[in-house]
Amino acid sequence: MIGFIGLGIMGENMASNLLAVGEKLTVHNRTKSKAQPLLDKGAEWASSPKEVAEKADIVFTMLTNPGAVESVALGEDGLLKGLSENKIWVDCSTVNPEFSKAMANKTEAAGCRFIDAPVAGSKDPAEKGLLNFLVGGNEQDVKEVKSYLDIMGKSIQYMGSHGNGIATKLAVNLSLVTSMATFAEAVTFGESLGLDRKQLIDVLLTLPVTAPVLKGKREMMIENSTFEAQFPLEHAHKDLQQIAETAYKTGAPLPVTHGAKELYAFAKQNGLSKKDFAAVYQLLASEGAD
């Protein structure tokens, strides 16, 4: 039996892919209604994280931030209270290395095993089982869960000991989110000079100066309308904040990242939290129009 806790944009699709190949699944989410599509497909409902851990041999979590993970793991009916000896907890949440190592220590103190396995990818890759897993933990434990990761993803990058998976994810998101900010800025700059938005976007996406992943934002930016969330802007800002806090402890200078973090904070203040992180273009375009 596999357990899955956290059924948002990413988690629901990841869990659905496990069900699609016949895996038996027990699920829990803070809001039960979000689990209904999975329950309709045959998943079992658990009333608490503890119950998920009691029923499953391997438990996956996909949660929004360290606070949510801590609540699920260490709460009164928490995950760690239900894990019995030698079971595995795989945390796919985007947290930070220090926190992830602390969760690993608590899990191992309970006689169980922990893997940090955050993902690179958004809603569409999650639906299609094409995520990239960035993994930290004991290599033998990783091999034990590999078949499940293969169902949900297209690649598994083993990065070494506990915390290295999430450290890699933060580096990946730093590059992704700052690239989106500079791309949006380049487009609004070009528009201010009288260039056609669609033509400029297509030229920039053709040239090697633009990250290939941003091709997926083409239609959103050309239409400049709904920006339906694949990777919510508020999550992008949260990740930048975690990156900044982690860098403060390591002494790494992040001048570009800090500027991007404030830009996304401004976008949140302007009501764009729930939109895709590409909506940072919408903020810049509106500012330029004033």
Query: Is the separation of the CB atoms in 137 and 157 below 8 Å?
Result: no
| Residue 285 dihedral angles phi and psi, to the nearest 5° | -65, -40
| Helix ranges (DSSP H) in 9-77 | 9-20, 36-40, 49-55, 66-74
Transcribe 190-227 into DSSP letters.
HHHTT--HHHHHHHHHHSTTS-GGGGGGHHHHHHTS--
Query: Is the separation of the CB atoms in 37 and 16 below 8 Å?
Result: yes
Residues 37 and 41: their CA atoms lie apart, in Å, by 7
Please name the amino acid found at residue 135.
V
Q: Please list the residues that pair with 89 across neighbouring strands.
A: 59, 114
How large is the C-alpha radius of gyration of the chain?
20
Query: Is the separation of the CB atoms in 86 and 112 below 8 Å?
Result: yes
| Residues forming the active site | 169
The residue to which tokens 């795989």 are assigned: 90
Residues 289 and 188: their CA atoms lie apart, in Å, by 10
CA 74 from centroid of its chain's CA atoms: 21
